Amino acid sequence: MKKTRVGIEGGAGFAGGELIRLLLGHPRVEIAAATSRTFPGQPVFLAHPNLRGRTDLAFTRKLDYKRLDCLFLAGSHGDAMGNVPAILAEAGPRLRIIDLSGDFRLRDAAQYPRWYTREHKAPGLLKKFAYGLVELNRAEIAKARWVANPGCFATATALALGPLAKGGARGVAAVTAVTGSSGSGASPSAITHHPTRHDNLRAYKPFAHQHAPEVEQILERLAGGRTLELSLIPVSGPFVRGIYAVCQVELPKGWTEKKVQDLYRDVYKDSAFVRLVPEPPSLNAVNGSNHCDVFVAVSQGRIGVISAIDNLVKGASGQAVQNLNVMMGWDETEGLGHAGHYP
């Protein structure tokens, strides 16, 4: 079997490290090269000490796009929109691209200044990227060459709310979602300073997080129109991995608990990575794996949906590999079948 050659732009970040870890175990893939501005020429294990002895790969400064079958972009937000046109010019449009940044998630270029504080640099490409949330958009991804990998908050929240949107629920979804510190990346900053992050919870960007519009976009598509509005308060949590999203929606008139539960079973019946669980989920049951655990409760006219993912796997690199699998027509779980570590 000839292996698919993949390249990784931005391989020294946390998402890059998880991509390399997962792809090293993928039977159909060969990592051609991974770049790093910080570690060019140095072994990958300097940035990712878990990979010492697992790979001799060294970071390069540049990729030879023409020799790649698929390119993962795991750099900073704002890089991809600037680089993709030149990359495609060099490699030709046949190159598959999976972008882990936010640069190609929103269809409407006009939203970028508001949510990402910058004008979009390649607005013409926006509609050509499929939104890579496999469980809610599998068919489009299967036909795509270019995929925008969802944000971590967006993944947890959209998987929690998608079936309700599809079923036609209306109104406001009030969501509190707590994130681990790895979502802030590999560079130290005030919000990841251990003495003040540890033992702390701190909300930020209330009603203003940039992952909100991509959730509303996919919910709108599922609903066939704007029906469910997202009201999101993100919280920084004192752990490394995970997104834990707690969602509340008013039970639509005439709906029963059975109808709600059936919606979820129906939407996720062919999705190996979404596990509908009978008790509220635990982060440590999904961490290290590509699973999203989803719990649904209905009581006194309210629907509560709680979802849990590993932000670096299902919320980033695992989902990127899942998108590759779907694009290539492989089994969706290829290279992702391992369980997470527990406890």
Active-site positions read 152
What's the half-sphere exposure (Cβ side, CA atoms, 13 Å) at 192? 14
Applying the rule CB under 8 A, the residues between 198 and 217 that interact with a second copy are 198-204, 206-208
Closer to a second copy by CB, 51 or 71: give it.
51
Restricted to residues 240-299, the positions that interact with a second copy (CB under 8 A) are 240-242, 244, 246, 248, 250, 272, 275, 277, 280-289, 291, 293, 295, 297, 299
Q: What is the DSSP string of 58-110?
A: B-BS---GGG-SEEEE-S-TTHHHHHHHHHHHHH-TT-EEEE-SSTTT-S-TT
Q: Which is nearer to a second copy, 122 or 272 (CB)?
A: 272
The alpha-carbon radius of gyration of the chain (Å, integer) is 19
Q: How far is the CB of 190 from a second copy (least distance, A)?
A: 6
Nearer to a second copy, 23 or 263 (CB): 23
* Closest alpha carbon to 17 in 149, 185, 134: 185
58 CB neighbour count, 10 Å cutoff: 16
- Residues of span 107-126 touching a second copy by CB under 8 A: none
109/297 with CB nearer a second copy: 297
> Mask of contacts with a second copy, 161-200, x by CB under 8 A?
-----------x-x-x-x-xxx-x-xxxxx-xxxxxxxxx
CA-to-CA distance for 308 and 279, rounded, in angstroms? Answer: 12
Q: Does 319 bind a second copy (CB under 8 A)?
A: no
| 231 touches a second copy (CB under 8 A) | yes
Nearest to 342 by CA among 274, 286, 294, 292: 286
| 84 vs 336 by CB, closer to a second copy | 336
Residues 2-21 that bind a second copy (CB under 8 A): 14, 17, 21
**Alpha carbon distance 71, 51 (integer Å):** 21
**Smallest gap from residue 272 Cβ to a second copy (A):** 7
Residue 38 engages a second copy in binding (rule: CB under 8 A)? no
DSSP assignments along 148-186, one per residue: EPPPHHHHHHHHHHHHHHHHT--EEEEEEEEE-GGGG-S
The reply to whether 24 sits near a second copy by the rule CB under 8 A is: yes
Question: Judged by CB under 8 A, which of 30, 38, 42, 52 binds a second copy?
Answer: 52
